[in-house]
Structure 1
Amino acid sequence: MQQNGQGLAADEQVFLKRMADLARRASQKGIWTLSAFGSPRETELARIAAKRESMSVHAYGGFPGAERVRVLFADAPDVAHDAYEIACLTVTCSVQDHMTHGQVLGSILGLGLNRDVLGDLLVTGNTAHVFCTEAIKPFLLSTLSRVGPHAVHVVEARESLVLQGTFENWEEHQFTVSSLRLDAFLAHAFSMSRSKAVEPIHAGLVQVNHRVRVDPAFTLREGDVISLRGFGRAKVIELAGTSKKGRLVIRAGRLRSN
């Protein structure tokens, strides 16, 4: 990615300019400025904007390992979590039925909200944890009453749950690869042959940090999140060393689609 803005999509250039404005305001006025929620790709752009303005940048999404985060431009070595103004709501379906991520997101956006007021939506069975801005919390508490065909009950999540980050349940496993190519990782993470892994990549069904990648040889890094449409997400949790045969040892996680 070019740091001068070249090679960016039009919407990315607009977003980069918006983040640069926030960083510049923080730098010139000596204040803290806070962004809306953004994807890992948008967080990367925010860090570029901060670097241009020689401003420190911090990011948090409400729990450790969150994908969608708010970015805080602040000339400070550390920032308390409450500075990010993030709330977590627990949404419970009235019957023992499974909600999907798409149903929860669609029901909330159907209330007239933009995606950037929402962080991660973590759905398990008939319960969802919805991370959102503090500003929009009262509206959701009073207005969100249905998800899909079912009535739901919405309350603010217990603080202990938020602090412990006990939301996502990554299925962890370890394997070795000759290199951190996208197709090699995808094959191991989603239990398919390497030749099969190439097909969805070429078809545009694979994203790395919310950006479509169509090159099977794209090199992954520690912390990258890989999405395969229809199969869920996988994460490069850790580069755990090298095997006796010189192969890379990867600790990976898997989240299945709801």
Structure 2
Amino acid sequence: MDFAQVEIDDMLSQANKGRVVLTDFLDPAMAALTRERLQKFPEVNYKVDGGYPNAERVRFAFFPNYIFPEDVELNIGFLEISGNFKFQTVTHRDFLGAILATGIKREKIGDLIIIPNGCQVILDRDLVPYLIQEVDKVHRVGVTVREIVREELLLPEAKTREVIAFVKSLRLDSVGASGFGISRSQMVKEIEGQKVRVNWKLQVKPSYEVAPGDVISLRGRGRVEVLEIAGTSKSGRSKVVLKRYL
């Protein structure tokens, strides 16, 4: 049992004893582990939120079943950092760097949404006043930081493409190769090179069998979701419907 699992189990144990417990913002791998551990604690209920639907980094609240979910607050806040970036190209890394330079830990910050004149930040609400005061520059450009509400978020439009493939088997190397548009031998190399995750868990076996709902992540190439296994062709190949996130 690794440290992360022990930490999550400790929080769940506290909730099982009657406390309301909040996690920091978790990346997809930790969120998947958390959902897995929740199955071991049937007396614990939970809420999860990342500020907007399909957020990558999310925060959990654990609480006993006798507490109404609507009475539990996840303490999520929202900021907008804006400036004149016409003559200075800035990236997600630049905005995150400006925030972390104030001494705040990454775990207290959720997703960052790049917008035309700056960036919107999802974070622990308690840190909102501090960042408004402390962040005044991003990559040498002066910025204004203000608190916003959830409804002001300019949500990124997910770019996806549906892929239909006929595969000999539902092995990870076969389905992944079709989804990412690479050869099966290249997919095997990526899997064995520890660059592939299934549902945000490292998977090093090319023979691993995928199922509908699985999300395959390949470092540097994005994600593919298995939407449906839509029957078998006359030649015995499985028809799979995939969603490729571009």
TM-score category (smaller protein): 0.7 to 0.9
The two structures, once aligned, show a CA RMSD in angstroms of 3.1
Deviations 1:231-254 (A, max 9, x none): 4x2241x52340562534324141
How far apart, CA to CA, are the structure 2 residues paired with 1:62 and 1:223?
A: 23
2:81 to 77, 91, 99: 91
Q: 1:61 to 1:17 in 2, by over 3 A?
A: same
Kept after mapping to 1: 8 A contact 2:232/2:239: no
Q: Deviation at 1:225?
A: 5.4
Question: Retained in 2: the 8 A contact 1:210–1:227?
Answer: no
1:6-52 deviations in Å (ceiling 9; x for gaps) = xxxxxxx22222222222222222x3221111122222332344333
Question: Residues 69 and 188 (structure 1 numbering): CA distance in 2 closer, same or farther, change over 3 Å?
Answer: same
| Percent of residue pairs identical | 24
Give secondary structure in 1 for the equivalent of 2:48: strand
Task: State the structure with more CA Rg.
Answer: 2
1:119 and 1:132 in contact (8 A); partners too: yes
Question: Are the counterparts in 1 of residues 199 and 214 from structure 2 also a CA contact under 8 Å?
Answer: no
CA drift of 1:126 comes to: 5.1
TM-score by length of 1: 0.76
- Normalised to the residue count of structure 2, the TM-score between the two structures is 0.79
Tell me, yes or no, if the aligned pair for 1:176 and 1:248 is still in contact at 8 Å: yes
Unaligned 5+ runs, structure 2: none
Residues 138-194 of structure 1, C-alpha deviations (whole Å, 9 max, x = no match): 2222222333343333333443244xx833423232322535543334434433223
Please tell me the residue identity of whatever aligns with 2:92: H
Whether the aligned pair in 1 keeps the contact of 2:159 and 2:245 (CA below 8 Å) is yes
2-side partners of 1:161 and 1:182: how far apart?
40
| 1:120 equivalent in alignment to 2:108 | no
Selected match of 1:136 from 127, 130, 145: 127
Q: How many residues align?
A: 238
Distance 2:71 2:158 in 1: 22
Corresponding residue SS for 1:131: strand
Aligned partner of residue 69 in structure 2, secondary structure: coil
SS of the residue corresponding to residue 161 of structure 2 reads: strand
Q: Does 1:152 align with 2:131?
A: no
Give how far 1:67 is off: 2.0
Partner of 1:32: 20
Q: Would you say the 8 A contact 2:85–2:118 is kept in 1? A: no
* Unaligned 5+ runs, structure 1: 6-12
Equivalent residue, structure 2, for 1:169: 158
- Among 179, 182, 194, the alignment partner of 1:192 is 182
**SS of equivalent residue, structure 2 residue 17:** helix
Residues 59 and 70, structure 1, Cα contact 8 Å, conserved in 2:
yes
Structure 1: how far apart are the matches of 2:229 and 2:209? 17
Matched, 1:67 2:56: yes
CA separation in 2, counterparts of 1:220 and 1:239?
A: 11
* 1:27–1:216 distance in 2 versus 1, CA, 3 Å: same
Deviates more, 1:144-153 or 1:17-26: 144-153
- Determine helix, strand or coil for the equivalent of 1:52: coil
